[in-house]
Structures are given as structure tokens and as C-alpha cells.
Amino acid sequence: MSYLNVTEVESAVVSLSTAFPSLTSLVDLPERSVEGRASHALRIGAESVAPKRCVVLTGGLHAREWGSCEVLVHLAADLLEAYESGTGLRYGGTTFTLDEVRRILDEVEVVVFPLVNPDGRRYSQDVEPMWRKNRNPAHSGGDPACIGVDINRNFDFLFDFATAFAPTAGPRVSADPCDPQVYQGPHPFSEPETRNVRWLLDRFPRTRWFVDVHSHAEDVLFVWGDDENQSVEPGMNFRNPAFDGTRGIAGDLAYAEFIEKSDADSSALLAERFCQGLHGVRGRTYTPMSGFQLYPTSGTSDDYAYSRHIVDQDRGRILAFTIEWGEIFQPLWPEMERIVLDVDAGLVQFCLAAL
């Protein structure tokens, strides 16, 4: 086996929906990529009369992080096969009983969107392995080196980073179309890929957890990414322009991002449970921490997902996370197979802890 190409990822999602019709439905994402590729997600769950809460899992936002797609395709297949065949799951030293598998699929809907950025993945696999962005040429000025937008900087959270952050904060984001890594695009949701993720969260309004699978650092991140967390001053928050120009400095007293203590505690607990499930497979140790502890950012998927209920009180609260698997972007396939087992065990444990 080896890494899946773009066609194979799509085929795997469609095939799972065909093979397990009573437990799945295929979700057609509304927007095609710039190069015309259609995308699908897979809804997994046993039938229920009452509406169920939902966990949304996304991957493949960054083109060069090939294994994220495999993590989610294998997770979907594992849960479906274990449920239908009446068996538990074993990932190395971490095991889950049949009752635990049934609890997940009986009590929640699991929505898996393994390949958000198909054009970028195709280009990374066929042309330039370290390519990170999508392949939108609209902002390039005709320069091939300036093609593309970083999907994970294009969400609507503190998009005007030059105003929001302190001058010395140095968030990992750029307004320069020729930045090879972190160009944010001209405005939030300028890209079809990010609009598809937004649509998916709207399509499943009972989403209560969101996990975006990335590489690499062996971490699991929870909000916030713009500054350190605090649960004391609600007025000190991303919507308050009084704090513009102060965000993003570690250890200072000028700013820290408000998060309700119950959400902060729940996020830290779920991240720790993920790490425990993963560690049991073969002893790898991942670190749970806020996104800001990795580096300051804006426009990321997890901060956007959590911020939705703050911006619009009619939306449900979503606890949001980013997984950073592995130590390099494209490990040799035998190691990637082991990483898939690690992360899938962590995700199953995460889902059980969330119930």
C-alpha cells in the first residue's frame, strides 16, 4: 500500500457509503475546487428517531500533509466494519469494545471530510511535494510562484491580523499573495474549500465537536490560537476593537483571549483523552496545548469553529481542535501506517470521552 491519490480518496468515501448504506450517507459538498474537482464527506451513524449531536472531522487542508486523508478514511472504515461485524477495535495496545463502538455510532453522528483541498494534494503528489496551499491563480498576478491561498488562514477569525495583533507578535499569516506558505487570501472565505467547511458546519447544526487533522508536531491543539487563554475578563475578546494592536504576545498583561472556564476545562480534558488513547498504541507521546502555544495564528479552522457561537448566539457551541500528527509531513508509508493507528485510536477515545 501507499498514500492515496485524490481519485482514490474520493473513491474510498463513495465506496464506504455504498458498502454500509444503513450506517452512512454521502454528503455532496456544494462547491467545486478551482480546478473543478467535486468533494464529498461521509456521515456515519446508526438511525435514530431523536436528533443526535455531531462531531465533524476534516483533513487535507494543507496539501503536503498527505497522511491526514488516510487517517480519516481508515477511521471511517474501522468504525463501520467494527459496528456491522459486531467486533471491537484494536490499535496496538489500545482496544475498544463492541459496546464502545456502538455507543459512538448510536449516540452521535460522525461526519468525515477527509480531503478539503484536492487541487493542492494533486499538485503536491505530482509536482511539488512541499506545496501547502490550494491552486487558486486569481491573486497571483500571473506569477506561477504566487498561486494559491493557505486554506487554514482563510477562515473568518481575526482576519485583519495587521490591526488585531501587536506589531511585534509575528503571527504565522501573510497578506502577500507571493508568500509561499501562509497567504490568507483577499477576504475570509474567498476560497471554495473554506466555504465547503463552513457549509458543512451549517449543514450539521448540532455539531458540538470539530477536529481538523494536520501535520506535524505530535500535538493536539485547542483554542485559542491568537493569544493565551483567560476566563476572568469576558470583555477581553476577539470582537472588542479596544484591544486591537495588543494581541499575540506571550506572557504580557495587555491581552489574553477569553474562553469560558467550562469550555477551557472540557477542551483540555478531551485533548488529554485523545493523547491517552494514542499513547496506548505504541507509546508515542503527544502534547495537549492551546494553539497559541505552538505559534500565534489567525484565520484557522478551529478558532473559527469555536467562535461561531460567540458571533451568532443562534449557533451551537463547538469545541474545536487541531491534531498535528507525526514528525515529518510525508513519512515513509510503513511509518505512516503506524501513525494512522495512533491517531485513529486517539480519535476513538476522543469520541468516547465527548459523549
| Cα distances (angstroms) measured from residue 82 to each of 13, 56, 323, 339 | 17, 20, 24, 20
Query: Residue 195 in contact with residue 272, Cβ under 8 Å?
Result: no
Average pLDDT of the residues in 278-296 = 98
Average pLDDT of the residues in 218-241 = 98
Query: What is the reported pLDDT for 79?
Result: 98
- In this predicted structure, the answer to whether residue 1 has a pLDDT above a threshold of 80 is no
Query: Residue 194 in contact with residue 221, Cβ under 8 Å?
Result: no
Percent of the chain with pLDDT over 70: 100
Query: What is the reported pLDDT for 74?
Result: 98
pTM score, two decimals? 0.98
Q: Which domains does the chain have, with CATH numbers?
A: 6-129+190-354 (3.40.630.10)
Query: What is the reported pLDDT for 270?
Result: 98
Distance CA 217, CA 26 (A): 32
Query: What is the reported pLDDT for 187?
Result: 98
Distance CA 188, CA 169 (A): 21
Distance CA 122, CA 133 (A): 11
- In this predicted structure, the answer to whether residue 323 has a pLDDT above a threshold of 80 is yes
Query: What is the reported pLDDT for 77?
Result: 98
The amino acid occupying position 351 is C
Cell of 49: 428517531
Distance CA 152, CA 30 (A): 19
Question: 182 CB contacts (<8 Å, ≥6 apart)?
Answer: 150, 153, 172, 173, 174
Query: What is the reported pLDDT for 314?
Result: 96
Q: Pick from 50, 94, 109, 101: which is nearest to 80 by CA?
A: 101
Residue-wise pLDDT for 144-195, tens only, equals: 999 999 999 999 999 999 999 999 999 999 999 999 999 999 999 999 999 9
Question: 334 CB contacts (<8 Å, ≥6 apart)?
Answer: none
Distance CA 154, CA 184 (A): 5
Residue-wise pLDDT for 113-151, tens only, equals: 999 999 999 999 999 999 999 999 999 999 999 999 999
Provide the pLDDT confidence category of residue 322 given band limits of 50, 70 and 90: very high
Exposed/middle/buried for residue 49 (C-beta within 10 Å: 0-12, 13-18, 19+): exposed
Exposed/middle/buried for residue 231 (C-beta within 10 Å: 0-12, 13-18, 19+): middle
Query: What is the reported pLDDT for 308?
Result: 98
Q: Pick from 233, 224, 217: which is nearest to 319 by CA?
A: 224
Rg (the chain; Cα; Å) = 19
Q: Say how many C-beta atoms besides its own lie within 10 A of residue 312's C-beta.
A: 8
Query: What is the reported pLDDT for 185?
Result: 98
Kindly tell me the sign of the dihedral angle through the C-alpha atoms of 337, 18, 352, 87.
Answer: negative
Residue-wise pLDDT for 28-82, tens only, equals: 999 999 999 999 999 999 999 899 999 999 999 999 999 999 999 999 999 999 9
Average pLDDT of the residues in 5-11 = 98
**Mean pLDDT, rounded, of the chain:** 98
